[in-house]
Amino acid sequence: MKRTDQVVTRDKERTCRAILESAEQMFADRGSKASLADIAVAAGVTKSGLMHHFPNRDALIYGVIEHCITRMWEEIHAHIDLSENRPGKFTRGYVRALTGGSAYLMDTFNPGTLLATLGNPPGIEALYACDAEKLSAAFAADGLPWSRVLMIRFAAEGLALSAPSPYLTSDDLELARAELLALTEVD
């Protein structure tokens, strides 16, 4: 019986992930016009199956934003070089991910895409506050002066926002990325 429970749980997780990924793509492609029925079809579930996991549109949007935050952390950690055993390792991973290392984050930070489209469903402020606290703790534990971390972090986020625009060339992005990475080295 335990094995059956594990299979059912795994299927629920897989279904939920399929719904979130389909919703994320549909919202990115169609904006707020994406219907729950279309998202269900894209995820390979019925609309009632979608509603089983997410009882209303706000719950689905909340779930998508939470999924985006989780993916952001995964992308940052994927860009951390574990061989860099010196202060600034997390910050360097953050800069790498946001300035061209992660197509997912470049798309997520683009002001015309997903997060701008989704807006602020009820309860999202608490999710953002929790993530902000977690992010601040990771930066604080990174061993760099806080004022430098702030400058690097928000410069990387600004580059991610500007990257898809004609105001930031790929050469300028690479130059700025190199400068930000250099700032992560402790004198």
Q: What is the CATH number of the domain that holds 143?
A: 1.10.357
Residues 163 and 97 in one domain: yes
Residues 30 and 66 in one domain: no
pLDDT at position 165 is 81
Q: How many domains are contained in the chain?
A: 2
Contact 148, 183 (CB under 8 A): yes
Residues 94 and 135 in one domain: yes
Residues 132 and 168 in one domain: yes
- The residue ranking higher by pLDDT, 103 or 23, is 23
Residues 43 and 78 in one domain: no
- Structural domain for 34, as ranges: 1-55
Query: Given its phi and psi angles, is residue 120 left (phi above 0), alpha (psi -120 to 50 degrees) or beta?
Result: beta
Residues 8 and 63 in one domain: no
pLDDT in tens, 93-136: 999 998 887 888 877 776 556 666 677 777 788 888 899 999 99
Q: What is the CATH number of the domain that holds 25?
A: 1.10.10.60
pLDDT in tens, 35-70: 899 999 999 999 999 999 999 988 998 898 899 889
Distance CA 153, CA 35 (A): 35
pLDDT at position 116 is 64
- The residue ranking higher by pLDDT, 183 or 9, is 183
Backbone φ and ψ for 94, nearest 5 degrees, come out as: -60, -45
Predicted confidence (pLDDT) at residue 4 exceeds the cutoff of 60: no
Contact 160, 105 (CB under 8 A): yes
Predicted confidence (pLDDT) at residue 145 exceeds the cutoff of 90: yes
The mean predicted confidence, pLDDT, of the chain is 86
